[in-house]
């Protein structure tokens, strides 16, 4: 088959919500690249969050911040951040309303002083859904930095802990010139709000990458598990939803594969002819 450009969401697609990478998914990425396919990740994460994972395979590039940052090889081909004034407005709004938040930059994630304490439940629910495990400690992301300057001009996007859904609705009113969304990991609950620069999305980033690589939409296959990944499907010739994904993305997909922790990525790669079934799994 003609070589493809494969676009992978990360949480819930390449890895599970505990951050575990299935061996079959790792194998699929390695073999696909050996076949001549290019593999990029497309994620809400910033560059530093991916670098600390230290996966035992290479990628051809990444889309970070849900479209704010695009890297191909060792070249940055697009980067749009919040302005200093937009960041200051966000920080001041959160502080005045007692909302815990973080600023996601390529070199770190800068958190409010109250973030660790106020995000405990959200971090738990991100992994386990509605199940609260009182005897399990959810560690903080190692990229998070406390006590740094929070008025910045290098912020890809922000995240803030929702005390209630109305925090998101209020943010949409206050930051009407920016992109405001919600996310929540397993089950897609609204646990966090986020704010990004206007005019960026996973769709716009995929289109920019197509232009840079001089390829057509039909040459690109996207994999995702959540509503935020549907824009990728719009930009790509094929969209594949993970079995653990929500019903909305499954309806938007051309193909639904198995769960991330049931070799779903590998099975889809084999089914689409991107790699051979060397692991002899039932497809």
Domain count, the chain: 2
Q: Do 140 and 101 belong together in one domain? A: yes
Q: Do 190 and 239 belong together in one domain? A: no
SS3 for 70? strand
| Residue at a domain's end among 141, 173, 196 | 196
| Residue at a domain's end among 196, 226, 251 | 196
Q: Which residue segment(s) compose the domain that 138 sits in? A: 84-196
Q: Do 159 and 211 belong together in one domain? A: no
- The packing angle between helices 84-97 and 165-174, to 10°, is 140
pLDDT tens-digit map of 143-198: 999 999 999 999 999 999 999 999 999 999 999 999 999 998 777 789 999 999 99
pLDDT tens-digit map of 101-112: 999 999 999 999
pLDDT of residue 129: 83
Q: Do 164 and 240 belong together in one domain? A: no
Q: Do 89 and 191 belong together in one domain? A: yes
CATH number at residue 162: 3.30.1240.10
Percent of the chain with pLDDT over 90: 90
pLDDT > 80? residue 133: no
Where residue 136 falls among pLDDT bands split at 50, 70, 90?
Answer: confident
Q: Do 59 and 154 belong together in one domain? A: no
CATH number at residue 53: 3.40.50.1000
Q: Do 25 and 76 belong together in one domain? A: yes
List of residues 6+ apart from 255 with CB closer than 8 A: 238, 239, 240, 241, 268, 271, 272
| Residue at a domain's end among 142, 174, 196 | 196
Cβ-contact 126, 186 below 8 angstroms: yes
């Amino acid at each position: 088959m003609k070589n493809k450009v494969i676009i992978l969401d990360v949480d819930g697609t390449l890895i599970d919500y505990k951050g575990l990478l299935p061996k079959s998914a790792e194998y699929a990425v390695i073999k696909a690249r050996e076949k001549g396919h290019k593999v990029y990740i497309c994620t809400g994460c910033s560059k530093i969050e991916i670098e600390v994972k230290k996966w035992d395979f290479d990628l051809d590039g990444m889309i970070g911040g849900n479209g704010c940052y695009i890297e191909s090889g060792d070249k940055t081909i697009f980067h749009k951040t919040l302005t200093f004034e937009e960041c200051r407005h966000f920080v001041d709004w959160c502080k005045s309303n007692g909302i815990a938040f973080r600023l996601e930059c390529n070199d770190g994630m800068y958190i409010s002083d109250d973030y660790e304490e106020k995000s405990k439940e959200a971090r738990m629910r991100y992994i386990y859904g509605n199940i609260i495990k009182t005897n399990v400690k959810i560690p903080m992301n190692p990229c998070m930095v406390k006590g740094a300057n929070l008025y910045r001009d290098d912020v890809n996007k922000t995240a803030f802990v929702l005390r209630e859904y109305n925090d998101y609705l209020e943010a949409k009113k206050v930051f009407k010139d920016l992109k405001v969304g919600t996310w929540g990991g397993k089950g897609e609950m609204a646990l966090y709000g986020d704010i990004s620069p206007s005019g960026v999305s996973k769709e716009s980033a995929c289109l920019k990458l197509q232009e840079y690589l001089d390829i057509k939409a039909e040459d690109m296959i996207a994999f995702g598990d959540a509503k935020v990944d549907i824009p990728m499907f719009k930009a790509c010739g094929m969209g594949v939803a993970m079995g653990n994904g929500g019903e909305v993305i499954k309806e938007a997909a051309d193909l639904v594969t198995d769960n991330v922790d049931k070799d779903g990525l590998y099975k889809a790669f084999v089914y689409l002819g991107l790699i051979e079934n060397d692991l002899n799994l039932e497809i």
